Each structure stands twice: as C-alpha cells, then as structure tokens.
Amino acid sequence: MSPVLFTIGSFNVYAFGFFLSLAFLFSTFIVWKNAKEELAEEEYLDAFLYTSLASLIASRLGFILFHFNEFGLNFLKYIVVRETPGLSLVGGLFGGFIFLFWYARRIKRNFWKLLDLFSLASSFALILAKLGEQLGGAGFGRETNFFLGIKIIGLPGKHHPVELYEAFLLSILTLILYLIYKRVKRNILPEGLVASIFGIGLALIIFLLEFLKVYNLYLYGLSFRQVGVLILLVAIVVPLIIKFKRRSQKNNENYT
C-alpha cells in the first residue's frame, strides 16, 4: 500500500484523493463524449456535475449516519473530512438517484437516458476509486492465507484486498455496461437497462464481498451495508419489472 503517492515540496499527494480526482475526470469525459454526439454537452455536463455533488454530500451523510456514535453532534467532524474521513457508497447511490430524478424533470430531459449514461460513467469511476482506496489503506478484509493477501500496517498477518477484488469485478461490469449501452443508443435495447444492470451488479458485488470484511454491527447476520444494498436491489428490481411489464403490454397492444 502507498497512502502517499508522491510529494511536491511539503505537499503530500494521497492515493485516494488522486484516484478520486482521476475518477471524476474520466467519468466526466465519458459523459462529454456521448453528450457531444447529441449536441447537449452543456446540459449533460451540468447535470452530471450537480448529481456528482449531490452524491458526494449524500455519501458523507450516509457515512455519518452509520457511524453516528463516532460523530455525535460534533458538526465540525461532519465537515473536516481529512480528520474524520469516510464516505458511504450506498448513501451516495441513493442520493444521486433521487437528485437526478428531480433534476431531469426540472430541465425536461429523459431521466432514463441520463441515468444510463451516468451509470456507465460511474461504473468506470468506481474502478479508479476502489484502486485509490486499496492503495490508501482505506479498506481491507478479514485475515487470510490466500496468496493475494496483503500486509496492513499495525495489524498481524495478511488480509484480503477487498477493494482490489471490487475493482476487478467492476471492470467486468463496466465492459458489460458499455456493450449494452451501445445497443441501447441504437434502440435495440430499452432505456433504463444499463442503469438497472449497474445497480443490480454493483449491489451483488458489494453484498458478496462484504462477507470478507469485519464489522461491529450486524443485523440478522448481515452488516448494515449489506442490508442497505438489499434495499437498493429491491428499489431497482421492482421498478424494472414494472417498466418491462408495461413495455410488454404496450408491444402486445401494438400487435393486436
């Protein structure tokens, strides 16, 4: 692990912050490239920027909520991220989804089209973010003898590099999403499919890899994060079933 990638004078460049910046730049490029084809760069980029900010705020609030015993009512800890770091991916997903739904209606843009594109960009961004977490030592798993196990400063033995596992699985998911997105753009597949597969795939990745981590709080044998992704799965799958059921009924009506 390399929490500090390099130093410029007295300024340290931290791995997580560096990779998080790269994630934002590359995901923004993905949005810009596709928006350019539709001559809607300004609207798409504004929507992505605002949604990213909303997701960041929601992810911070989600982390504070799940670790409230560490923060209490000390509002300074909420803001000073360097002293009390931590973000909730599940909280960020919920926050970004709700904000984008509202913003798309406000600017009168197709919500599902925006959500598909932003899901593809976010999936790629998460690969870099997870690599940054792993290098920065922000996440690790249970102690193991597995050959990929890594040493964690201050802890005995070797531990699962869970964030590295997530980055690898997210790379596969991103490739799948890209192939599906190309077919969605050609109207071969329905809008909303990319976002749905992203949500389902990410939820499954998080849920399964959480078994390799250790938490202090569990609910019915599951970590609070696993409970959160189960709620996310239901929130995605139910609307998806309704959406495709309506689409099927509409197609049947067109044939009759």
Digit-by-digit pLDDT tens for the chain (256 residues) are: 566 666 776 776 777 778 888 999 999 999 999 888 776 788 999 999 999 999 989 988 877 776 677 776 666 666 656 556 667 887 888 899 999 999 999 999 999 999 999 999 999 999 998 888 887 766 677 778 887 777 776 667 787 888 889 999 999 999 999 999 999 998 888 888 999 899 889 888 988 888 887 655 455 556 667 777 787 777 777 776 776 677 666 666 665 5
pTM of the model: 0.82
Which tokens hold the place of 205? 């990745």
Encode burial over 198-224: b for 16+ CB neighbours within 10 A, e otherwise. bbbbbbebbbebbebbeeeeeeeebbb
Residue extents of the structural domains in the chain:
4-39+107-255
Crossing angle between the packed helical segments 15-37 and 41-66, to the nearest 10 degrees: 150
Q: Cβ-count burial of 23 within 10 angstroms (0-12 exposed, 13-18 middle, 19+ buried)?
A: buried
